[in-house]
């Protein structure tokens, strides 16, 4: 499950369990939130399902590429 920072859940006592809701809320505030490897992977994997402007979409893809490059260097 993707964790939504408390700062992004001002309108709910607890964030909805829906993965797409969580990813959309994080994407709305990317890159201020959600730049860790796990969250970027989820965001990138669901880009076509999220309402993300082109610039953010490209930035998420770039973060994903960098995380994948760093992971492959560790092998």
Over residues 58-74, the pLDDT tens digits come to 999 999 999 999 777 76
Q: How confident is the model at residue 75 (pLDDT cuts 50, 70, 90)?
A: low
- How far, in Å, CA of 29 to CA of 48, rounded? 17
**pLDDT surpassing 70 at residue 21:** yes
d(CA 65, CA 40): 10
- Mean pLDDT of the 19-42 span: 97
Phi, then psi, of 70 in degrees rounded to 5:
-65, -40
pLDDT band at 56 (very low <50, low <70, confident <90, very high): very high
The set of residues, in sequence order, having a beta carbon less than 8 Å from that of 2 and lying 6+ positions away, is 19, 22, 23, 26, 38, 39, 42
């Amino acid at each position: 499950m993707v964790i939504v920072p408390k700062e992004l859940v001002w309108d709910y006592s607890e964030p909805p369990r829906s993965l797409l809701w969580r990813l959309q809320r994080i994407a709305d505030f990317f890159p201020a939130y959600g730049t860790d490897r796990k969250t970027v992977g989820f965001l990138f994997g669901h880009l076509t399902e999220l309402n993300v402007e082109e610039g953010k979409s490209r930035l998420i893809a770039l973060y994903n590429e960098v995380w994948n490059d760093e992971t492959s260097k560790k092998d």
